[in-house]
């Protein structure tokens, strides 16, 4: 089942690659950019993670938490964190529970055990505010940041202060 804007975001709780416990329920009251990527050791996975890291400070200024999810092991994600110097949580989903709940396991990638690249912007009430499918990793983080700003009603002068990192 594919989630749509307005639906309740499925709750999850997982331990990140660096040992942090992440529970969506505990993030109520905050915006969450939850991005699913195909693999920690793939060029597209690295690029997407780097793009989110490049604008991480901007997400924080807008009160949003960035979380990355792949079906990789904790060790693979730890290597991605170290290589790309990431500051946001990466959730290993080797059992594919989170991916299944968010409907990102379809298509050829799903048959191979990989997530489709999708991102869910979750509002402070825990509802899906926006969904991106068929993500292009080289500019996607900036798109999510712009939509977050729009959703918060901060378009205009504020949006010009946001750095979009490398594209």
Instruction: Report helix angle 43-54 to 74-84, nearest 10.
Output: 50
For the whole model, what pTM was predicted? 0.88
Q: How far apart are CA 143 and CA 161, in angstroms?
A: 15
pLDDT band for position 113 (cuts 50, 70, 90) = low
pLDDT in tens, 21-74: 999 999 999 999 999 998 888 899 999 999 999 999 999 999 999 999 999 999
Q: What is the DSSP letter of 68?
A: E
Q: Name the E strands within 3-158.
A: 13-15, 21-23, 31-36, 64-70, 90-92, 118-122, 128-133
The topology (CATH level 3) of 13-161 is: Glutaredoxin (3.40.30)
Domain ranges of the chain: 13-161
Burial 97-133 (b: 16+ CB within 10 A, else e): ebbebbbbbeeebbeeebbbbbbbbbbeebebbbbbe
pLDDT band for position 108 (cuts 50, 70, 90) = low
């Amino acid at each position: 089942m594919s989630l749509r804007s307005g639906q309740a975001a499925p709750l999850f709780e997982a331990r990140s690659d660096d040992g942090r416990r992440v529970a969506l329920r505990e993030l109520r009251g905050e915006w969450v950019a939850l991005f699913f990527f195909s693999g920690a050791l793939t060029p597209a996975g690295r690029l997407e993670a780097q793009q989110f890291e490049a604008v991480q400070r901007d997400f924080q200024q807008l009160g949003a938490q960035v979380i990355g999810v792949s079906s990789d092991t904790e060790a693979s994600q730890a290597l991605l964190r170290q290589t790309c110097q990431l500051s946001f949580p990466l959730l290993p989903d080797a059992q594919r529970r989170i991916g299944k709940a968010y409907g990102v396991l379809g298509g050829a990638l799903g048959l191979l055990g990989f997530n489709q690249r999708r991102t869910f912007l979750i509002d402070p009430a825990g509802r899906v505010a926006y969904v991106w499918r068929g993500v292009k990793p080289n500019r996607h983080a900036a798109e999510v940041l712009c939509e977050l700003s729009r959703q918060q009603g901060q378009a205009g002068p504020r949006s010009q202060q946001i750095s979009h990192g490398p594209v």
